[in-house]
Structure 1
Amino acid sequence: MSKSAPPPGFTLNINDPQIQEAAIRIQASYRGHRSRKELREKGPPRILQDLKDVVLLEGSAAKLVCRVSAFPDPFIVWSKNGQQLKDGPKYRYVFEDPDVVALVVRDGLLDDLGRYTVTIKNPFGQTSGSACILVEAPAKVSKGPGNVAAKKGATVVLKAEISGEPPPDVAWLKDGDDIEEDDRVFYDIEDTNTILTIKSARASDAGKYEVFVENSLGTDQSFARVSLL
């Protein structure tokens, strides 16, 4: 049985000069790729472009990028403050190009602040590089003070849990006015909370108290009432 003729436009003349020129280019490209691969020097991995610190906005994602050279192909491990990170929904290992590796940190939280390290290993050795993720989050009163009913002469304590990066400025107000601190009425500010203390409570201390926090990304406040019996 004779072969059917190819459809019109599908004939290929291998003697056509353009076809021969294309074949030569393909062969040269293949030889060049093969020779480049064969000429790659086997040895321990090297970092060609260091990791750089990045800023992670709360609720968003950030990416740490590192450019490396390694042959044979390396094994990559990412860690945070010495603890290995698993590839998954929160931390995503990314390989963008033959020589670029990255870590994507999703759903940014204040807890994501820290130093991240990439370790690159192959049979000839290993190397590593580090950078920091700096987290920015709006000022927030995560847990406000509760209402207090106390006897006259007692010590009254109002406590609020706060957060924010940069660390927020904190103010306490009574009935809408800033509290002027003295030896009897004062407040302390720590990393995650602020405490207002009222010693030897008087009838005039009764009222509505407000804790107010502010940083460059936002403000928040919470209220509590103090009653004197």
Structure 2
Amino acid sequence: MSKVKAAPPPGCNLNINDPQVQEAAIRIQASYRGHRSRKELREKGPPKFLQELKDVVLVEGSAAKLECRVSAFPDPFIVWSKDGKELKDGPKYCYVFEDPDVVALVVRDGVLADLGRYTVTIKNTFGQTSGSACIIVEVPAKVTKGPDNVKAKKGTTVVLKAEISGEPPPDVGWLKDGEDIEEDERVFYDVGDTDTILTIKNARPTDAGKYEVFVENNLGTDQSFARVDIQ
């Protein structure tokens, strides 16, 4: 016994060839397109940050990554700069774009000169915005050039100079024959940004010996030696 299909309820017949039905479909499609266009218009506008840049620490010889999250439609044009100078995408500085909204800069082969303020500028046809953060460079303490051996005559002034580096700036000390030097008006040392100088006035035979310059910060230590002979 075959089943008989039930007739649709009154008013539910739909003839897709009916001009009124076609007109209604066109109105529905137009309404949807209008809604979609209004939604897109709400999303369009100048770029804005969803997450700001933050300061990062870069250890000498390694890489650091500055990143932020942005909202921008249409897609924005990105420029990174350091202390006001534009940085080109290449071996040293790598522009990074990670879906859906991350913009980043990778700084490779870190050196002390990378310390500074970095700015990202994001712009599209509706406007632009920018944000900044600092890269803080950390460099292990190092004696980059040790003092030279010295031969001097009794009563003269002896000067030992060493070139140093480090960030944070290292603590510096001088030793003679393994003992800390007690500074006075005759024997003293100065510490500059890139060097340290030990001065021995009116040199005596007892000043002869092995001198050591020692540097230290939270990333490392280093030292160098020199021999002083008094004749």
Measured in 1, the distance between the counterparts of 2:170 and 2:112 equals 13
Root mean square deviation, CA, Å: 2.0
TM alignment of 1:109-128, pairs within 5 A: 109-128=111-130
Letter of the structure 2 residue corresponding to residue 50 of structure 1: E
Aligned to 1:145: 147
- Is the counterpart of residue 187 in structure 1 residue 189 in structure 2? yes
Measured in 1, the distance between the counterparts of 2:112 and 2:162 equals 18
Measured in 2, the distance between the counterparts of 1:114 and 1:88 equals 19
Q: 1:164 aligns with which of 157, 163, 166?
A: 166
TM alignment of 1:1-229, pairs within 5 A: 35=36, 38-39=40-41, 41-229=43-231
Letter of the structure 2 residue corresponding to residue 218 of structure 1: G
Measured in 1, the distance between the counterparts of 2:210 and 2:36 equals 79
Contact in 2 for aligned 1:169/1:215 (Cα 8 Å): yes
Aligned to 1:15: none
Give the secondary structure class of the aligned counterpart of 1:180: coil
What is the CA-CA distance between 1:125 and the residue it aligns to?
Answer: 2.0
Give the secondary structure class of the aligned counterpart of 2:40: helix
Measured in 2, the distance between the counterparts of 1:156 and 1:84 equals 48
Letter of the structure 2 residue corresponding to residue 151 of structure 1: K
What is the CA-CA distance between 1:51 and the residue it aligns to?
Answer: 0.3
Give the secondary structure class of the aligned counterpart of 1:221: strand
Measured in 2, the distance between the counterparts of 1:82 and 1:226 equals 48
Gaps of 5+ in 2: 1-31
What is the CA-CA distance between 1:40 and the residue it aligns to?
Answer: 5.0
TM-score for both structures, normalised by structure 1: 0.81
Measured in 1, the distance between the counterparts of 2:90 and 2:71 equals 25
Give the secondary structure class of the aligned counterpart of 2:193: coil
Give the secondary structure class of the aligned counterpart of 2:71: strand
Give the secondary structure class of the aligned counterpart of 1:101: strand
What is the CA-CA distance between 1:71 and the residue it aligns to?
Answer: 1.9
Percent identity for Structure 1 against Structure 2:
82
Q: Do the aligned partners of residues 66 and 106 (structure 1) sit closer, same or farther apart at CA in structure 2, a change above 3 Å counting?
A: same
1:50-98 residue CA offsets vs partner (Å, 9 max, x unmatched): 1001111111111000111122211111111112111111111000123
1:90-136 residue CA offsets vs partner (Å, 9 max, x unmatched): 11100012321000011111221111111112222221101111122
Gaps of 5+ in 1: 1-30
Measured in 1, the distance between the counterparts of 2:36 and 2:193 equals 59
Contact in 2 for aligned 1:40/1:71 (Cα 8 Å): no
Aligned to 1:20: none
Measured in 2, the distance between the counterparts of 1:96 and 1:40 equals 23
Give the secondary structure class of the aligned counterpart of 2:202: coil
Aligned to 2:13: none
Measured in 2, the distance between the counterparts of 1:177 and 1:39 equals 75
Measured in 1, the distance between the counterparts of 2:108 and 2:58 equals 9
Q: How many residues are matched? A: 198
